[in-house]
Each structure stands twice: as structure tokens, then as C-alpha cells.
Structure 1
């Protein structure tokens, strides 16, 4: 396996992200023990988000093996199911300061293809993510379902720490985690 880690740039790479998103979408999985994603995007969504802060991908030849989406507050109203997350962010403080006063980057979603798991791909994608975005943002933040044990453990492993928890309209619990790049 020789993966290339890079920013997403082409239409074909965005389609590859969407293909991997569908492979890992909660509605398409028989078991949730390997992690899952909830939100669904379009190529147009990915292009717009990428124009503010590029997504990171791992490619195996032309195949997208993994991705981490980048999302800024400029896109907070674009993905309907993510609006409650941004509303929750607006209620929170980090180190005694409202989140809205920080320049933060939202991890829009992460997925690693089945055949690439357990090989450090997740961790290395996040190293590249921080290398690309660390000078431009104070921290990365995201929310993860408390049922997504694999994702929570992986995010804690790379340096994310829990900031808050909240129930959504369906009663599902979401864990808001922050990876502080100012430390």
C-alpha cells in the first residue's frame, strides 16, 4: 500500500469522497462497530466547503482511501442536518471564552475505507489536516455520536478532548470534542 495524503482538488476526488461516505453511512451498514457517518453531501457542498478550507484525502492510486472534511462557519447553514451542531457551538465556551470568538475549523466528517483501517491512516490524515490548517485556525472541533465508540476512541487518540455533550431532537447524545492547536 502506497498512499498519498493531500488536499482534495478535483471533481473525481470529490466523487471518491462521496463514494466512501456512502460505504460508511449509517443507513448502509449492518454493524456499527467499525464507525459510521450521518451527514450526506453533494459534490457542490464539498466544493464550497473546500473553497474555504481544503479537505484532506488519502489516495491509493486514483481511489480515495480516506478523507477528513473541513468546514468553516461560512458554511454553517449549508448542510441542514448540521445546523443544530453550529447552534450548539454558539452556546458554548472554551477556556472561558465563547466559541464564536475563536477562529475554529469544524471537522465535517471522517471516513477510512475498510481495507485501510488499523494501519495508521486515520492518524496520519489528521497529521496532514493539522499541518495544512494549524496556522490558520485556533482548533479543530466536531461532534460525534456517543454510539460511535470507534470514532470517539480514534479522535481521543489523536488529541481531541471532550468539551460538551448534548441530546439532539431525537434524543441521541452528541459529544463535542476539540483538538486545541494553540497549545
Structure 2
């Protein structure tokens, strides 16, 4: 049975990184990227720990193992990950007082657990555990990642803006 919770141990953060490694573009074939989606950012354990200290991440656990995650990225981390700086710049332009929106820094479900509602469960749990004063979740999706765009739309995300940065097209999206 899948249980949704916030991260609470170093081992869980390490499991997130292990799952992340399996879904980075350089580990996937072109066909896998098109059919299954892919991740854009590779996080370090130190950054994950800092993010967790401000707002614990959301995980899906099955029999003690992390099988999915949604990273909570408080706006104070706007300058911590180079590839995400343009997203925070766009958020600042689009949303008044972006401090009211948590950024979902990355979401991933283990391949063998996809299609079982875990993606939806992660976002539901994230919304339920937003820090006081936060009323929505913002993220961006690479325009080439059709699977992820469709999944986000299915759980209720709406598009704020399309923009380009460093040769990639992005969809900036919001869930309230």
C-alpha cells in the first residue's frame, strides 16, 4: 500500500537521489524520454537537505521504499540551482508577491509505479502540507516533456506562461 508523507530521514533523501539518477536524460533512450518523460535537474544531497529543512519534500512510500517524490522548493532557493534561476525570474514577473506560492522543484514516480495515481497523490499531499500562508504550487515543464505536461494538466495545473531560456522552451504552470 502506498503511503504519502513528508521526508523525515537522510535515507529518504538518498532514495530520492537514487530514483532521480534513473530518470535523468543521459540515462534514458530517446524513446523512453518521449514515452515516460524525463527529469531536468540533478540535485546534490546538500541542496536537498537545505530544501528539506525549510519545507520537507513529499514522498510516496511502498514497503519502506521511496517510489515517488515531489520536491518542495521554497522561494528562498531561487538562486540555488542555476538552471532554475530563469523560472524564478519569470515567476517574479508573473505573480505578485510570489512568496505565496511554493515551487515544486521536481516530481518523479518510479517506472514500475506509474499509472497508479501516485503523481496525483503526491500533489494532493503537497497541497495539504503547504506551509501556512502559501496558497498554490508553481512549477515549470520542459515543452518537450509531453507526458509531464499532460499529467500536470490532468491534476489541475493551468498555464501561466510559455517562455524560452537557454535554448529550451518551458511552460510555467500553477496549481491553486
**TM score, norm. by length of structure 2:** 0.93
The residue that corresponds to 2:87 in the other structure is 85
TM-align CA RMSD: 1.3
Are residues 1:155 and 2:157 paired?
no
- Give the match for residue 67 of structure 2: 65
- Determine if contact 2:157/2:174 at 8 Å carries over to the other structure: yes
Alignment length, in residue pairs? Answer: 173
Determine helix, strand or coil for the equivalent of 1:90: helix
Q: 2:114 aligns with which of 111, 117, 135?
A: 117
Displacement of 1:25: 1.0
SS in 2 for 1:50: helix
Which 5+ residue runs of structure 2 have no aligned equivalent?
A: none
Compute the displacement of 1:87 (Å).
1.4
Contact 2:55 2:131 in 1 (8 A): no
Unaligned ranges ≥5, structure 1: none
Matched, 1:145 2:142: yes
> Is this contact kept in 1: 2:71–2:106, CA < 8 A?
yes
Deviation at 1:102, TM superposition (A): 4.6
> Post-superposition shift, 1:124?
1.0
The corresponding residue for 1:177 is 173
Q: Please state how far the C-alpha of 1:155 moved relative to its aligned partner.
A: 0.8
More helix by share: 2
State the shift of 1:88 in Å. Answer: 1.7
Q: What TM-score comes out, normalization by structure 1 length? A: 0.90
- 2:134 paired with 1:132: no
How far 1:129 sits from its partner (Å)?
Answer: 0.8
* Cα deviation, residue 21, structure 1: 0.7
Query: Kindly tell me: are residues 61 and 147 of structure 1, through their superposed partners in 2, closer, same or farther at Cα, counting changes over 3 Å?
Result: same
